[in-house]
Amino acid sequence: MKRILITGVNGQIGSELVDRLLQFVDADKIVGLDLRPAMPPYVIAHETVDITNKEALRQIVEKYQADTIFHLASLLSAVGEMNPDQAWHVNMTGLKNVLDIARGKNIQIFWPSSIAVFGPNSPRQNTPQKTILDPNTMYGITKRAGELLCQYYHEKFNVDVRSVRYPGIISHKTEPGGGTTDYAVAIYYEAVRNRVYTCFVAPDTCLPMMYMDDAVRAAVEIMQADLEAIKVHTSYNLTAVSFTAAELAREITKHIPEFRCNYEPDFRQEIALSWPQTIDDSAARADWNWQHKFDLAGITTDMLEKLDKKIRGRN
């Protein structure tokens, strides 16, 4: 991990992965790529490029002599359902471009899959690593196809690509980009701003979640693991904690007693109901020693403290 390219760097995960990598890599060894221009504080180089443009991508990889690519550029689940053609194009062409460029070169790739690979017939409790995968969203279909593409490029062309199935990611730096689990971030913003939130899933909707600190650490740790330790070449199940929307609201009221949460489920409710409630990630824990650090109480304390400073400017 000497020269790193992060695609989708402006997004929820990319923006925080930069901070994590800067703890052990110099800023001039990291370049970000996104469809959107650079965001402040402009610490690393930035290229405004469409990931579906293979030649432009190849030139950037060569220009910066990248040996590591964190490929995060994507359309997420809710946005993908509104633009299925675009979701297929960006998610599949983008991933294949990255894999093709890495072929025959010593370039290591991290690409996140998602719990969206599961579907209505997957077991919803303690969902196993290997099980029925019948996603019914375009986003989930691109993730499932992407997992198989990664495994194919590893087996046929020896490409070192590593992947995890992220659950919903909760963070405070960059607001999420249109996923089904966005409510678990928005609820904190609205609790701090207005003391009230209207949630787009029902109170008993339970999904697996993870704090951003854990999510970016997982990305770095799977990339640092010995190749022989990586036994799953599609994508590892990964989780931290599962809770319902009502349990999340209750945890917030421990800090903000006047907070109220209302529920008005929309089309994202149906997507949430097709995803697991709890995940078996024992393969990741055994193979490359995955361990989460943040539970719901820890996430809530940190989120409210950070957002209070960000929104209200309190020290």
Ligand X SMILES: NC(=O)c1ccc[n+]([C@@H]2O[C@H](COP(=O)([O-])OP(=O)(O)OC[C@H]3O[C@@H](n4cnc5c(N)ncnc54)[C@H](O)[C@@H]3O)[C@@H](O)[C@H]2O)c1
Measured from the CB atom, is 50 or 287 closer to ligand X?
Answer: 50
The question of whether 139 is a catalytic residue gets the answer yes
In the region spanning residues 53 to 72, those forming contacts with ligand X, defined by CB under 6 A, are 72
Chain centre distance of CA 73 = 10
Q: Which residues contact 174 (CB under 8 A, 6 or more apart)?
A: 10, 11, 12, 15, 16
- Is residue 297 within 8 Å of residue 178, measured between CB atoms? no
Cα gap 230→290, rounded to integer Å: 12
Residue 105's contacts (CB-CB under 8 Å, 6 or more residues apart) are: none
Q: Which is nearer to ligand X, 73 or 141 (CB)?
A: 73
Coil, helix or strand at residue 48:
strand
Site for ligand X in 107-146 (CB under 6 A): 112, 114
Set 139, 166, 188, 197: catalytic member: 139
Q: How far is the CB of 300 from ligand X (least distance, A)?
A: 17
Measured CA to CA, the distance from residue 256 to residue 222 in angstroms comes to 37
Per-residue contact string for residues 73-112; x = within reach of ligand X by CB under 6 A: xx-x-------------x---------------------x
Q: Does 274 bind ligand X (CB under 6 A)?
A: no
- Exposure string of 205-241, with b = 16+ CB inside 10 Å and e = fewer, is bbbbbbbbbbbbbbbbebbebeeeebebbbbbbbbbb
Which of 118/166 has CB closer to ligand X? 166
* Sites for ligand X among residues 5-44 (CB under 6 A): 8, 10-14, 34-36
Among the listed residues 4, 18, 30, 51, the single contact to ligand X using CB under 6 A: 51
What is the distance in angstroms between the CA of the first residue and the CA of the last residue of the chain?
Answer: 36
**Shorter beta-carbon distance to ligand X: residue 26 or 295:** 295
Q: Please identify every residue annotated as catalytic.
A: 139
Binding residues for ligand X, per CB under 6 A? 8, 10-14, 34-36, 50-52, 72-74, 76, 90, 112, 114, 166, 168-169, 176-177, 179, 181
